[in-house]
Amino acid sequence: MTIGIGDPLPSVQITRLTADGREPVDTAEYFKGRRVALFAVPGAYTPTCSAKHLPGFVEKADALKARGVDEIACTSVNDPFVLEAWAKANDAQGITMLADGNADFATALGLDMDGSKFGMGRRSQRYAMIVDDGKVAALHVEAPGEFRVSSADHLLETL
């Protein structure tokens, strides 16, 4: 079952990389008490993710924050070291990278997909959501192969 508007985020262990190394993150706790724009990509360094999705959120970060977003976070089924390198390669300062290495978070949300025919295994669908105090306030899931409703521009239009 796919998570919906008004639902609380599930408690799943994911990882982020800090100056001190890998840090476990409990998703239910991490998103409490603030408003977060969370977007998910099928994989770091993949074409649409690198050319459009991440750069759009980097470019629109100030506009999103001006509309009440406290933090912008990206999740992907990659390890935290790959996400950190991808963030640096794209000058994505200010975007929190949350590694869902085993697709546990994507699966718990009901937003996972099978990318095996592309050699990618289990991945996250492409989506963007607003999480307000741990609950889904807005959710925009892309149709397979599309990039429209999960863009930073579209998210801004809906705020």
The pairing of strands 95-99 and 112-114 is: unpaired
State the catalytic residue, choosing from 41, 49, 61, 131: 49
Nearest to 33 by CA among 16, 9, 15: 9
> Residue 159 and residue 155: Cα distance in Å, rounded?
7
Does 74 qualify as catalytic in the annotation?
Answer: no
Active site residues: 49
